[in-house]
Amino acid sequence: MKDLPLDVYDFKEIIEGGHLYIDKTDLLFELIRGKQRFLSRPRRFGKSLFLTTLAAIFRGQAELFAGLKIAQSGYEFKISGSPSGYVFGQLISR
């Protein structure tokens, strides 16, 4: 059985650490194809993990998404831009 990822909001760390990840990559795929969105949710709802997952997609890190829904959607992983943002005031590196 996989560990629950307590206080882990970095997608790469969740996948490489073998933690449980509830696959929301189909929602990310929809988000990417859409327009700008404003995500507003209370704390601990997965906003930070959602953003680091999005950053991994835009970095073209296809290997992290093996077996997840976005990998089965036909999405072509490629480096698209330099994702950056802030999670708890910490810069998500470019």
In the region spanning residues 4 to 63, those forming contacts with Mg ion, defined by CB under 5 A, are: 47-48
* CB contact at 8 A, 65 and 77: yes
Nearer to Mg ion, 24 or 47 (CB): 47
User: By CB under 5 A, how many residues form the interface with Mg ion?
Assistant: 2
Token representation of residue 5 = 């990822």
Task: Answer with the entry of Mg ion, ligand ADP, none that 45 interacts with (C-beta below 5 to 8 A by kind).
Answer: ligand ADP
Beta-carbon contacts of residue 12 (< 8 Å; ≥ 6 apart): 52, 56, 61, 64
- Binding residues for Mg ion, per CB under 5 A? 47-48
